[in-house]
Structure 1
Amino acid sequence: MLNYFLKRLVGLLPTLLIVAILVFMFVHMLPGDPARLAAGPDADEATVQMVRKELGLDQPLPTQFVQFFGRMLQGDFGTSMSTHRPVSAEIGERFMPTLLLTFTSMVWSVIFGMGIGIISAVYRNQWPDRLGMAIAVSGISFPAFALGMLLMQIFSVDLGWLPTVGADTWKHYILPSITLGAAVAAVMARFTRASFVEVVSEDFVRTARAKGLNERVVILKHCLRNAMIPVVTMMGLQFGFLLGGSIVVEAVFNWPGVGRLLVDAVNTRDYPLIQTLVLMFSLEFILINLVVDMLYGYINPTIRYK
């Protein structure tokens, strides 16, 4: 297990290098001149050229990439072109609201999604199954931005129960977390149901029932553990998607997180900020997948890494 973990950590470097190259290329292909945006619409060409030189955009692209990647390896992610503050400081101020929102969304979506999936599998082809899967299909089909605006209209504008913007109190997390986690809960419900239906038909489940064990013990002890491996895989992937997919929800609710920060960075063509944020999202996916793989050994001790 330790050797597997160390090999995966070493494998992060080439993956991050490939992602860094692709991100650097795509960012510099964005339309618009960041030097012109930084100098202002009324600046003359001499001023724009001076700003371009100060930002280092007058150098060849390979030179810019080598400088960016070299600073990144030293923990220096550059300075924001729009705010002239360190990129690490900009992201540090916005990271916790996004992480808390993602964690809140993940907790309730996993609880409800797995609950609906287990109930649907136990009462397969009966009305609880049909109702649960209908809810799941609705959650997947409804776009996040439309759901967010609908929730704001009902619970904020019409009823006045919940706030719409900000992240100051626990009430601010309710509507964004529901919007962000609705699709995840639906996916978890369908995936859990499929995994449980497969496990319930196994011989060891019939043997456990033949021994006279309580149905609750059979479901929660025997079925749950064996059905958890594919569910945990999906859970890890969905958590990564939540971190990256919070961009739309944060834009709808004007949430002070890194998703909103990325939207603003794209609008201002803030190259260092865009590159660092995309690399951060990529690293989060890689680390989450690593954690999920390590959890396999604890869920099912028969799994061994060679």
Structure 2
Amino acid sequence: MSRWGYFMRRALLSVPVLFSVMTFLFLMLRLGPLSPVAARLGEQASGADVTRLREQLGLNDPLWQQYLDFITDLLTFSGESWVVQANRPITEIIAQLAPTTIWLGFWAIMLPLFIGIPLGFYAGLHPNSKSDYVASVSGILWLSMPNFWLAVMALAFLRQTQGGGLLGFDWYTIGPDIRSITGTPDLDFLAYGDVFGVTVPTAIDWMAFLTDFKLILPASIILGSASMATEMRIGRTAVLETVNSNYVEMAKAKGLKSRSIVWKHIFRNALIPLVPVITNEAFILIGGSVIIEFIFNINGLGNIYFRALTQGDLPLAGALVFMFTLIIIFLNILQDFLYTIIDPRVGHDR
């Protein structure tokens, strides 16, 4: 089977996965104890108002008809929110909140990539050294602490620094001044212009950029902390295994320079076990962003997904899960593609 044929097969097999996820979510919310009518109208609503809203939302229709409408709205990217932002198109809600979650997720991925992997590789190239012990112990300790606990501790610590009361520095005034360590970044640091009829970024306000970066930095560090520790430990182990391999010994015997051996033989082959770790970060970011955005009061997709679940907003929760599932399936296929690039021995002939 060719590479593209394999990818097409994986894409087709993803269809029943999507429908299974959507069916489970529909049954969980529709047959569960949550009532979108009660969440929207409150406990003091009259019987006439309840009946009118149930009819408006289609909750009086047969269950199979509700399921078909639910799936149709997902596949056509239509539908409106029931409770959280009542009667507003879901596409508008996602378009408004997605940049904030992308901003958080971008830094939550970049920090582990540029901190965890280099530290792991350095520890693997210098085994049994002080730096190796420090990196290994810190990675184990960091990995053992849950994100929600780290988020609460980080907020408590940073709030104590206001006015220079703790350790002699004030997080609020270091760099750009901020009034609060929680909240949603503005993300208005880009200026747009018309270039040949296309709207593109033409300038950047660096102070606004640094302000948004500072506001999201604690949340992104906490969100990416588990990935950073995992990448560091796996990277160290991969380097240790690669350094003692036969082809590295052969490269040394041929007299190749140490830098060439590290970059062409050790680094590339040590990346192979890190590919699933890096791509699977999407699972951590999607699940973790719900908790982190709620704790840091960030108005993003994770926060509104939590509100949609707890208030029985079936169309909004379903649309977000549908989008998250598509992203995860795409990253799984991308993972297979990266394997074939990094490791030429991997094929899809069987």
Normalising to structure 1: TM-score of the pair? 0.93
Partner of 1:116: 119
- Unpaired segments of 5 or more residues in structure 1? none
153-162 or 103-112, which deviates more: 153-162
Partner of 2:183: 165
The one-letter amino acid of 1:102's match is: G
The one-letter amino acid of 1:27's match is: L
Q: Tell me the alpha carbon deviations over residues 244-279 of structure 1, each in whole angstroms, 9 at most, x when there is no partner.
A: 321111011111110001111123211111111122
Any idea what SS the aligned residue of 1:229 has? coil
The one-letter amino acid of 1:236's match is: T
Check the 8 A contact 1:94/1:256 in 2, yes or no.
yes
Of residues 70, 92, 97, the one that matches 1:94 is 97
Partner of 1:232: 275
Partner of 1:182: 225
Check the 8 A contact 1:109/1:185 in 2, yes or no.
yes
Displacement after TM superposition at 1:214 (Å)? 3.0
Give the superposed CA RMSD: 1.7
Are residue 4 (structure 1) and residue 14 (structure 2) matched?
Answer: no
The one-letter amino acid of 1:39's match is: L
Are residue 130 (structure 1) and residue 140 (structure 2) matched?
Answer: no
78-87 or 8-17, which deviates more: 8-17
Q: Tell me the alpha carbon deviations over residues 211-230 of structure 1, each in whole angstroms, 9 at most, x when there is no partner.
A: 23333332222111112121
Partner of 1:148: 151
Displacement after TM superposition at 1:88 (Å)? 1.6
Partner of 2:236: 193
Partner of 2:17: 15
Check the 8 A contact 1:205/1:218 in 2, yes or no.
yes
Check the 8 A contact 1:156/1:164 in 2, yes or no.
no
293-302 or 208-217, which deviates more: 208-217
Check the 8 A contact 1:205/1:222 in 2, yes or no.
yes
Considering fraction of residues, name the structure with more helix.
1
Distance 2:150 2:70 in 1: 39
The one-letter amino acid of 1:55's match is: L
Check the 8 A contact 1:87/1:273 in 2, yes or no.
yes
Of residues 16, 28, 31, the one that matches 2:30 is 28
Aligned residues: 305
Are residue 66 (structure 1) and residue 62 (structure 2) matched?
Answer: no
Distance 1:71 1:219 in 2: 52
134-143 or 295-304, which deviates more: 295-304
Displacement after TM superposition at 1:93 (Å)? 1.1
Check the 8 A contact 1:145/1:249 in 2, yes or no.
yes
Of residues 37, 55, 59, the one that matches 1:53 is 55
Distance 1:123 1:59 in 2: 66
The one-letter amino acid of 2:38's match is: R
4+ runs deviating over 3 angstroms: none
Partner of 1:242: 285
- Unpaired segments of 5 or more residues in structure 2? 163-169, 173-180, 187-211
Structure 2 matches for 1:67-82, cutoff 5 A?
A: 67-76=69-78, 78-82=79-83
Distance 2:222 2:31 in 1: 32
Distance change >3 Å, CA 155–CA 212, structure 1 → 2? farther
Check the 8 A contact 1:240/1:288 in 2, yes or no.
no
Normalising to structure 2: TM-score of the pair? 0.82
Check the 8 A contact 2:74/2:322 in 1, yes or no.
no
The one-letter amino acid of 2:214's match is: K
Check the 8 A contact 2:182/2:298 in 1, yes or no.
no
Q: Tell me the alpha carbon deviations over residues 176-222 of structure 1, each in whole angstroms, 9 at most, x when there is no partner.
A: 11111111100111111222222222101111122233333322221
